[in-house]
Amino acid sequence: MKIPKRIIKNLPPVCQLTASVVDAWGGRTYLVGGLVRDLLLDAGALSEANRDWDIAVDLRSTGKGLLGLLKELQNRTGGRYVFHHQFLTGTLMLPELRVDIAHTREESYPQPAVLPEIRPAGIEADLRRRDFTVNALALVLSGPETGTVIDPTGGASDLKHRLIRIIHPLSFIDDPTRIFRAIRFAVRFGFEIESGTLHLMRQAIAAGYPALLTPERILYELRCICRERNALKMLEAVIREGVLAACFPKSSGPEFFGVPVRQVLNELAALVHSGAGEELLMIYLLSRLPVNERFPITREERAAREALMNRNVLLERLSRVRRRSSIYQLLRGVPVRALEILAVLSPGPVRSRLRLYLDELMHVQPQLQAADLIAAGVKPGPQMGRMLERLLVARLDRRVKSRDEELALVHRLQSCNV
Ligand code: CTP
């Protein structure tokens, strides 16, 4: 199978440059990874923004190493490289794109779910170690074979039949992140998970292999899913198949960590339908998962997660306040992301108060600032703080509407010694 020359010509120049350097050394260069799959599915895939560029080189017969190649490319392009000796991979960062360059390798897993040990090997072995047949395709970038697709596992046929199929039976055990990936690719492309693959995937889940993944890897997979256009369907499948429950083995039954699965799915659907993006979806998920301090989530995520976990107290209080300034005072300091989520998930009146805060109240400020108050005779210090707060409350409750009314209020308060 061949990819037309005109498509190869449209690859970024750094691909051709890598191929010509490696060619001159007597090695081989391939485009690998999801891009080859996407090119076979749709020749327009090259023009998609934020593409990953994955190149594999076979330098075994050249007497040169990957580090030498990265240095040469850095000299020729003015880019910057990073080299991971232990993984035989590198990245070349150019102003407009970054390219991952790896030596073709075979790998073995000393234990389930740990990162593999690798040794240089040819392209076929490199493809056979990969996750799914449709991702085990390589495009030759130089020499007389340029444009040829190398397909040792039947990936092109599976693409045609719309199937996600693992390459070897231990795939999900070696690397349980592939469970998330199988679901992600199947939903993204509208493919089916091939029946033998599905059986092995379910076996790996039932045997608890996802629990062996590090917190970083679990989070990485969740973030990848939340970024997808069809994140909802993927999350539904991940939850229904019990993948998340298997990552945190204390959960059980039809409950999703103490909440009915149905409720979690409904809430996710409501969020997605309201237009929530990856950040909100991720925070919502974190609030439903028992992530402990070992999970490297951002400070903002942790704060929003905690606010969501205490939602009942907050919503109950919110249901009892009416005054605009009271709504403000109750919600001030609660992470905005958590409030955006609650505004989608809460019932009528509480929802309108949350929306009022998010759309209007949180942006309200008195017109007078500290310097104006000093000019009006207010002393810096606690009195100033109290005065500013009173002004803000008056503004929120629409008791003052102009700078003059604010000044009049300041004078009134001064005369009562506030
Ligand atoms: N890969 C794998 N096993 C994994 C992760 C990755 O075998 N657990 C291989 C696959 O061949 C994959 C390639 O590494 O195609 C690149 O990984 P990644 O960029 O995550 O996947 P893409 O297929 O490029 O996915 P996307 O379209 O989401 O960029």
* C-alpha to C-alpha distance for 287 and 326, rounded to whole angstroms: 26
Pick the residue whose CA is nearest to atom 7 on ligand 1: 130
33 CA distance to ligand 1 middle (Å): 6
φ and ψ at 207, to 5 degrees? -80, 0
Averaged pLDDT for residues 212-231: 97
35 CA distance to ligand 1 middle (Å): 9
Residues with CB under 6 A from ligand 1: 33-34, 52, 54, 130-131, 135, 175, 177-178, 181
Question: What SS3 state is found at 55?
Answer: strand
Pick the residue whose CA is nearest to atom 21 on ligand 1: 34
Q: In this model, does residue 413 exceed pLDDT 90?
A: no
179 CA distance to ligand 1 middle (Å): 13
Query: Predicted confidence band at 252 (pLDDT cuts at 50, 70, 90)?
Result: low
Averaged pLDDT for residues 216-240: 97
Least confident of 124-138, 142-156, 237-251: 237-251
Q: In this model, does residue 11 exceed pLDDT 80?
A: yes
Q: How far is CA 296 from CA 37, 178, 199, 291, 300, in A?
A: 32, 21, 32, 9, 12
Shortest CA distance to 249 belongs to which of 182, 176, 348, 322? 176
According to DSSP, residue 122 is labeled: -
Atom of ligand 1 nearest to the CA of 175: 8
Atom of ligand 1 nearest to the CA of 224: 28
Residue type, 417: N
Atom of ligand 1 nearest to the CA of 177: 8
Mutate to test the pocket of ligand 1, among 46, 104, 135 (most ligand atoms within 8 A of CB): 135
Contacts 24+ apart (CB under 8 A), 194-203: 194/158, 194/163, 194/164, 194/165, 196/165, 197/132, 197/164, 197/165, 197/166, 200/166, 200/169, 200/171, 200/172, 201/172, 201/241, 202/241, 203/172
Question: What SS3 state is found at 86?
Answer: helix
Query: Predicted confidence band at 416 (pLDDT cuts at 50, 70, 90)?
Result: confident
For residue 253, the model assigns a pLDDT of 65
For residue 1, the model assigns a pLDDT of 85
Shortest CA distance to 391 belongs to which of 369, 376, 371? 369
Contacts of 263 (CB under 8 A, 6+ apart): 256
Q: In this model, does residue 190 exceed pLDDT 70?
A: yes
Query: Predicted confidence band at 186 (pLDDT cuts at 50, 70, 90)?
Result: very high
Averaged pLDDT for residues 48-75: 92
DSSP lists the bridge partners of residue 32 as 54
Mutate to test the pocket of ligand 1, among 88, 130, 164, 216 (most ligand atoms within 8 A of CB): 130
Contacts of 213 (CB under 8 A, 6+ apart): 113, 176, 177, 247
Pick the residue whose CA is nearest to atom 3 on ligand 1: 131
Atom of ligand 1 nearest to the CA of 38: 27
Q: In this model, does residue 66 exceed pLDDT 90?
A: yes
pLDDT digits (tens, 9 = 90+) for 259-306: 899 999 999 999 999 999 999 999 999 999 999 889 999 999 999 999
For residue 70, the model assigns a pLDDT of 97
Q: In this model, does residue 40 exceed pLDDT 70?
A: yes
Averaged pLDDT for residues 154-164: 97
Strands 89-93 and 98-103: antiparallel
Contacts of 379 (CB under 8 A, 6+ apart): none
381 vs 44, higher pLDDT:
381
Averaged pLDDT for residues 32-44: 89
Q: In this model, does residue 254 exceed pLDDT 90?
A: no
Pick the residue whose CA is nearest to atom 8 on ligand 1: 178
Pick the residue whose CA is nearest to atom 4 on ligand 1: 131
Q: In this model, does residue 251 exceed pLDDT 70?
A: no
339 vs 5, higher pLDDT:
339
For residue 45, the model assigns a pLDDT of 74
164 CA distance to ligand 1 middle (Å): 13
Query: Predicted confidence band at 258 (pLDDT cuts at 50, 70, 90)?
Result: confident
Residue type, 119: R
* Domains of the chain with bracketed CATH: 5-153 (3.30.460.10), 162-297 (1.10.3090.10), 298-363 (no CATH), 367-415 (no CATH)
* C-alpha to C-alpha distance for 332 and 326, rounded to whole angstroms: 10
pLDDT digits (tens, 9 = 90+) for 377-389: 888 888 888 999 9
Averaged pLDDT for residues 109-127: 93
Least confident of 27-41, 102-116, 240-254, 339-353: 240-254
For residue 92, the model assigns a pLDDT of 97
Query: Predicted confidence band at 150 (pLDDT cuts at 50, 70, 90)?
Result: very high
* Mean of all residue pLDDT scores within the chain: 93
φ and ψ at 214, to 5 degrees? -75, 155
pLDDT digits (tens, 9 = 90+) for 315-326: 999 999 999 999
Task: Check if the beta carbon of residue 123 is closer than 8 Å to that of residue 104.
Answer: yes
Query: Predicted confidence band at 418 (pLDDT cuts at 50, 70, 90)?
Result: low
Ramachandran quadrant class, 83 (left: phi over 0; alpha: psi -120 to 50; beta: rest): beta
Pick the residue whose CA is nearest to atom 25 on ligand 1: 34
